[in-house]
Structure 1
Amino acid sequence: MSGEKKLYKYKTLKSVAVRLRDDLNDHHFVLLYAYNGTGKTRLSMEFKDIVKKRKKNPLTDTLYYNAYTEDLFHWNNDLDNDSERHLIINQKSRFFEGFRELALDERIFGFLERYADFNFTINYVDWNIAFKKQIKNHKFRPDSEEPEYVIQENIKVSRGEENIFIWCIFLAITELAIDGDESYGWVKHIYIDDPISSLDDNNAIAVASDLAQLLKRGKDKLKVVISSHHALFFNVMYNELRNIAHKSHFLHKNGSDGYILRATDDTPFFHHVALLSDLWKASETGKVNTYHFNMLRSVLEKTSTFFGYDEFSKCIYGIEDEVLFSRALNLLSHGKYSIYQPVEMNLDNKELFTRILKAFLDRHSFQLPEIFA
């Protein structure tokens, strides 16, 4: 199997981080798929710290987004009065260098309005952020049947809304680095680890697509690593960046003996194989959406390419109901944008999806660690 030649073993995450930096010498992007618990967040910090240790410099060349980025913000919930809630910014972080002078409100909102329906105000004196949202007053204006809308101030946004807001701040700063703003002239690398942990699939796809467009615009200025456990997000990023020089890896633990980095730049496309984990979970939980058929067909197409078949249906050739399954995959994975429509399938199609997936897995044996975990 050609893919077996591209398997690398490392004792430490630092060694993996060195490898990723080496990859970026010849490529614009590195895409990394890894399950939760593998050490992706720690890897991003090792990547950040390498240049500090090499040059004995207290500063880094990496702007990163990971769990630590979200920790730069914390809530004041006004427990006494329950009315003046706001998000406090850790102004000591280099992440906010030039934040006050650049007044990023408009730039941040340009990203935020794509994903959310709330607004915000940044207090650059006290370093906090207040949120507001337009809501129905449930009263009708005099002489009108139209509902009245009011602005609710100092609201506590949900965890998902908070995460997407912080993500939009990161995008605004990344855009400044791409545009060459001197406040972020130190940024040479971007490291993004799982920006969509609290987002639904619809927003995950939107985030991936928007991020890809931004990074493609800055591909000649910044080198980027993107790691994720979210198969749908990873798949969209791969498809968006596939025509730009990049490396793609699958990272998993090597038992108690370090880590394995498996290249997925060509067959057998391990990131597509990893999608089977999400497809199986969707089948098991009954939460099968329209785009799952598209994902399943994509896996069959990559498998057929690996085996040298001229069409994906030959991956299920000779099994019972093969004609029905092929027609269903053709019909239910139709359209370029079906992956962008998170619409739940009806019961009959869910059952059909499960039958096709099971038949495929029974026909082919995929050896991938914890694939059904």
Structure 2
Amino acid sequence: MDHHENIESLAEGLLQNMDGLRSALIYAPNTIGKTRLAQQLKDRSPDAVMLYNSSVEDVFTWDNERVVLKMDLESELPKIIETQGLDGAIIRNFQVFTGDRIEPTLDFTRGEISFGLHTGDDSSVDGIKISRAEESIFIWCVYYTVLSEAIDALSDRPDLRSTSVYDGLTLAVIDDPVSSMDDVRIVSVALALAELIRRAAELDLKFLITTHHALFFNVLFNSFRRNKKDRAYILQRQPVAGWALKVQPNDSPFSYHLGIIEEIGSAISENAIRRIHFNQFRALLEKTANFLGHKGGWGELLTGPDAALLTRVLNLYSHDRFADLESSEVSDEYSDALKGEFQVFLKSFRWGDAA
């Protein structure tokens, strides 16, 4: 197990561990530092890294008044899309991932994407508002399409390539691309990403994927398990010791629950509950629900008197843009809800001895 005191050291150690590998898959709950790690790798070598994280999602913002998705034309990916003429491929990929007849239209003059439902009859309509899940899929399709094009380009000899824009690319860093997606689409994204990695097997291009989603981790792990050039890790963080990167030998990061239980229990006993502990509890609930096959999701596992309140809080903190600020204090009402529901959870699922 590798230990690192800061994100810079973690990024350096991870790159060293990837020497000779094709990909590294990292599981970690929200607030552990996945986003900062991904950004650190991009900042170290901007031209060598193609990054997908929340900063890519921020390039696209929904305009309710105009019913369009606005895009920042000065950012990296939209520039590549326009110069390389990839809008048609993005549309095709979006329709493959969504499996319906919603068709995006990209307008690079206005910097807007509109969506229409084309049924082939009088019920067709333009200017529709897509769901949050469909928005996430569209943004993923932008990155996926550019990365796929880069792999195709790098597969040609340098003197035969149609563009040199990808020549310096050596690392694709992908941080949790499946937010707001349902399980079917999560599996589709994971399988498509695994296929991209296989296509790039002969290239000097490595992949780093981080996720807090157990299903996404599971699908990718099983797609890679027969290739020794792919490796899975668990990323943990302790308040004093810093980050620990541990090789994960099987297809479920569920064993990580012991560390989460211990940390939440310590925070409760020391009256030091912070936002990080809510996100850790949600990660524990997600893994438990996945492990036990609860099709209704992790919310079914909250059965105490404060279940409804805590569900709202866990959703709020999970999607908070500032959730990574682990020192953020929480109200007594939220802390009490976490304490009560955590104890009910331990008793219900017999984790009492582990705590």
Q: TM-score normalised to the size of structure 2?
A: 0.68
Code of the aligned partner of 1:289: K
- Tell me what 2:191 maps to: 209
- Tell me what 2:310 maps to: none
Select the residue among 8, 11, 15 that pairs with 1:21: 15
Q: CA deviation at 1:194?
A: 0.5
Whether 2:129 is the aligned partner of 1:156: answer yes
Whether 2:223 is the aligned partner of 1:250: answer no
Contact 2:57 2:139 in 1 (8 A): yes
User: What SS does structure 1 have at the residue aligned with 2:255?
Assistant: helix
Code of the aligned partner of 2:210: S
Q: CA deviation at 1:45?
A: 0.6
- Tell me what 1:260 maps to: 244
Contact 1:88 1:127 in 2 (8 A): yes
d(CA) in 2 for partners of 1:210, 1:176: 14
d(CA) in 1 for partners of 2:246, 2:294: 29
Q: CA deviation at 1:100?
A: 1.6
- Tell me what 1:301 maps to: none
Q: Deviations over 1:293-340 (max 9, x none)?
A: xxxxxxxxxxxxxxxxxxxxxxxxxxxxxxxxxxxxxxxxxxxxxxxx
Whether 2:112 is the aligned partner of 1:128: answer yes
Q: How does 1:47-66 map to 2 (within 5 A)?
A: 47-51=41-45, 59-66=46-53
Pair 1:105–1:263, CA change in 2 (3 A): same
Contact 2:71 2:111 in 1 (8 A): yes
Pair 1:77–1:260, CA change in 2 (3 A): same
Whether 2:212 is the aligned partner of 1:237: answer no
Q: Deviations over 1:72-125 (max 9, x none)?
A: 1112333xxxxx422221111122333223221221123212222211111122
Contact 1:18 1:50 in 2 (8 A): no
Contact 1:252 1:259 in 2 (8 A): yes
Select the residue among 160, 164, 176 that pairs with 2:149: 176
d(CA) in 1 for partners of 2:76, 2:237: 32
Q: CA deviation at 1:176?
A: 1.1
Q: CA deviation at 1:247?
A: 2.1
d(CA) in 1 for partners of 2:192, 2:31: 27
Code of the aligned partner of 1:61: A
Code of the aligned partner of 1:237: L
Select the residue among 64, 67, 75 that pairs with 2:62: 75
Contact 1:36 1:229 in 2 (8 A): yes
Pair 1:206–1:25, CA change in 2 (3 A): same
Contact 2:73 2:108 in 1 (8 A): no
Whether 2:295 is the aligned partner of 1:289: answer yes
Code of the aligned partner of 1:39: G
Contact 1:107 1:172 in 2 (8 A): yes
Pair 1:92–1:186, CA change in 2 (3 A): farther
Q: TM-score normalised to the size of structure 1?
A: 0.65
Contact 1:63 1:95 in 2 (8 A): no
d(CA) in 1 for partners of 2:14, 2:137: 27
Aligned residues: CA RMSD: 2.9
User: How many positions carry a matched residue from both structures?
Assistant: 268
Select the residue among 268, 278, 284 that pairs with 2:286: 278
Q: Percent identity?
A: 28
Contact 1:97 1:183 in 2 (8 A): no
The structure having more radius of gyration, on CA atoms, is 1
- Tell me what 1:333 maps to: none
Contact 1:89 1:128 in 2 (8 A): yes
Q: CA deviation at 1:37?
A: 0.9
Whether 2:170 is the aligned partner of 1:188: answer yes
Contact 1:119 1:133 in 2 (8 A): yes
d(CA) in 2 for partners of 1:22, 1:9: 13
Contact 1:73 1:87 in 2 (8 A): yes
Pair 1:49–1:366, CA change in 2 (3 A): farther
